């Protein structure tokens, strides 16, 4: 009798467990963004573009448009969206022809540009993600990803920049098929030519993920974590030993490999996560905030490792560090409110959005005896620069004898300015000076401020 009760209890537990999984799956699918919502967002974008085109043709400046109809995306983002749309069109047509044993189509009449020749390793097409809430509205920051399109080739490191809440980590979570996402996304994502949403298990062997916060088992050792992960990835013990030893030595984890994770510092746990990310030489690597929780030496070693591995992989990196973006990324994109607003190399973005250049001046300390002398010199230099160079330049900041002047874009005057300063530096009590472009950090802050102003002005 007791045996039957025991068996019945086990069967009941199994049945209830399966029912829970079933209803969770139904609930997960029901939370997906309604297709009508996505259609509404796409329709609004089309209507906005038609309005802008008509108004611009009539000679109406964009700054007079209603805020809702001002396009925050630059031309490079729009061109990338059109390119991705063409790639998806051609790829789908070729796949459909293969399935039906028909000739592969070579001519396409509905493309935005010339037919694409290569399928990117990472292809994201019109990706949307809306966090599930009790409200039926899609406004007020519920849209985490709003129509992201991107195509990245082997050897590229793409830097995804943006303020907190822009949608960067959500993008990484969607691309890694995070099981803890609140709801499934809409759109298409291809990793190595495989549709992620339809065949995630086929994608996983090609994917490496370095999350912002480590997700290792803390009650086992570093090596145990590595061997468990290697078994999941299908590596033999010999392959695991060779790959892990090289990475452990590279990241200086030899002294910690036999320690439990809960006995390691946050920086060393991050290094252990890096070992797992690159253990199998993944084809596509997703890196979320690599510098968070890691010391400068570990950060440098990680950057060197990314530089070394990027030639045989495609990488997406989210970061708040503009230095990381400039040192590591072949192209960057700045994301605001779930939309990519600019996309290009760091240099091109600085040239396009940077406001002129900076003139930094270091005065002769021994010639300035008092604060009144300092103010007289500053006034003299300011007047000189405005009269001789550009009336719109201004003193942005000064700390002691160090002055910072900002100039509007006047690249053609740079040789003249150098010559002028060299000739007059002794009279102006200038010890040394330097002229530089705006930094990516300054451009980023300027775009964030502009976006914040636009959002606050919406009715």
Q: How far is CA 392 from CA 345, 355, 381, in A?
A: 29, 12, 14
Whole-number pLDDT of residue 140? 45
Q: How far is CA 304 from CA 130, 296, 328, in A?
A: 36, 12, 9
Same domain, 182 and 241: yes
| Residue at 456 is within a domain | no
Same domain, 61 and 103: no
Contact assessment for residue 342 and residue 353, using Cβ atoms and an 8 Å cutoff = yes
Query: Which two tokens mark 248?
Result: 């452990």
* β 314-318/194-195 pair status: unpaired
DSSP per residue, 330-367? SEEEEEETTEEEEEE-HHHHHHHH--SEEEEEEE-GGG
Q: How far apart are CA 348 and CA 447, in angstroms?
A: 15
| Residue at 179 is within a domain | yes
Residue 156 has, within 13 A of its CA and on its CB side, a CA count of 18
Same domain, 51 and 185: no
* Three-class DSSP category at 265: coil
Residue 370 DSSP code:
S
Contact assessment for residue 336 and residue 166, using Cβ atoms and an 8 Å cutoff = yes
Same domain, 411 and 310: no
Same domain, 425 and 291: no
Same domain, 4 and 41: no
Domain extent for 144: 75-352
Whole-number pLDDT of residue 152? 94
Same domain, 248 and 385: no
Residue 68 DSSP code:
G
Q: How far apart are CA 172 and CA 452, in angstroms?
A: 24
Same domain, 359 and 347: no
Q: How many residues does the chain have?
A: 459
Q: How far apart are CA 109 and CA 192, in angstroms?
A: 26
pLDDT 10s digit of each residue in the chain, 459 long? Answer: 556 666 766 766 676 666 665 555 544 444 455 555 555 566 666 666 666 667 666 666 655 555 555 566 788 998 899 899 888 888 888 888 888 887 877 777 777 777 777 889 999 999 988 876 544 444 444 778 888 999 999 999 999 999 888 889 899 999 988 877 777 788 899 998 889 888 888 888 889 999 888 788 888 888 888 888 888 888 888 888 888 888 888 888 888 888 888 888 888 888 888 888 888 888 999 999 888 778 888 888 888 888 888 888 999 999 888 888 888 899 999 998 888 989 999 888 887 887 677 888 898 888 888 888 888 989 999 998 888 888 888 888 888 888 988 888 765 667 788 888 888 888 888 889 888 877 888 788 878 877 765 555 554
Q: How far apart are CA 114 and CA 108, in angstroms?
A: 9
């Amino acid at each position: 009798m007791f045996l039957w009760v025991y068996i019945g209890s086990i069967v009941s537990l199994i049945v209830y467990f399966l029912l829970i999984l079933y209803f969770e799956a139904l609930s997960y699918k029901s939370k997906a963004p309604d297709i009508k919502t996505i259609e509404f967002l796409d329709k609004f974008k089309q209507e906005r573009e038609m309005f802008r085109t008509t108004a611009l043709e009539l000679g109406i400046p964009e700054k007079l448009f209603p805020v809702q109809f001002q396009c925050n995306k630059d031309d490079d983002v729009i061109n990338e969206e059109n390119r991705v749309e063409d790639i998806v069109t051609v790829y789908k047509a070729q796949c459909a022809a293969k399935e039906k044993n028909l000739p592969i189509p070579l001519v396409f009449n509905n493309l935005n540009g010339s037919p694409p020749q290569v399928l990117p390793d990472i292809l994201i097409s019109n990706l949307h993600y809306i966090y599930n809430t009790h409200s039926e509205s899609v406004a007020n920051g519920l849209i985490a990803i709003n129509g992201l399109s991107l195509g990245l080739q082997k050897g590229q490191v793409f830097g995804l920049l943006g303020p907190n809440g822009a949608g960067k980590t959500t993008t990484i979570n969607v691309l890694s098929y995070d099981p803890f996402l609140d709801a499934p996304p809409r759109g298409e994502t291809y990793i190595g030519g495989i549709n992620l949403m339809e065949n995630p298990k086929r994608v996983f062997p090609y994917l490496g993920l370095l999350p912002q916060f480590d997700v290792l088992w803390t009650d086992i050792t570093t090596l145990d974590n590595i061997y468990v992960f290697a078994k999941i990835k299908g590596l033999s013990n010999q392959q695991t030993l060779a790959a892990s030893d090289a990475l452990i030595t590279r990241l200086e984890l030899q002294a910690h490999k036999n320690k439990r994770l809960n006995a390691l510092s946050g920086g060393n746990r991050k290094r252990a996560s890096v070992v797992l990310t690159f253990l199998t030489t993944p084809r596509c690597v997703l890196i979320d905030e690599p510098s968070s929780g890691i010391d400068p030496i570990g950060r440098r070693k990680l950057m060197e490792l990314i530089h070394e591995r990027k030639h045989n992989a495609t990488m997406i990196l989210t970061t708040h560090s503009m230095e990381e973006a400039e040192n590591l990324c072949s192209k960057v994109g700045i994301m605001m409110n779930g939309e990519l607003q600019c996309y290009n190399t760091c240099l091109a973005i600085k040239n396009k959005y940077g406001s002129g250049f900076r003139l930094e001046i270091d005065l002769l300390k021994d010639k300035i005896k008092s604060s009144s002398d300092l103010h007289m010199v500053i006034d003299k230099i300011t007047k000189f620069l405005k009269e001789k160079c550009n009336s719109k330049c201004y003193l942005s900041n000064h700390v002691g004898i160090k002055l910072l002047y900002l100039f509007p874009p006047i690249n053609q005057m740079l040789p003249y300015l150098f010559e002028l300063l060299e000739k007059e530096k002794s009279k102006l009590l200038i010890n040394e000076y330097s002229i530089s472009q705006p930094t990516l950090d300054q451009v980023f802050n300027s775009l964030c401020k502009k976006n914040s102003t636009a959002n606050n002005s919406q009715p």
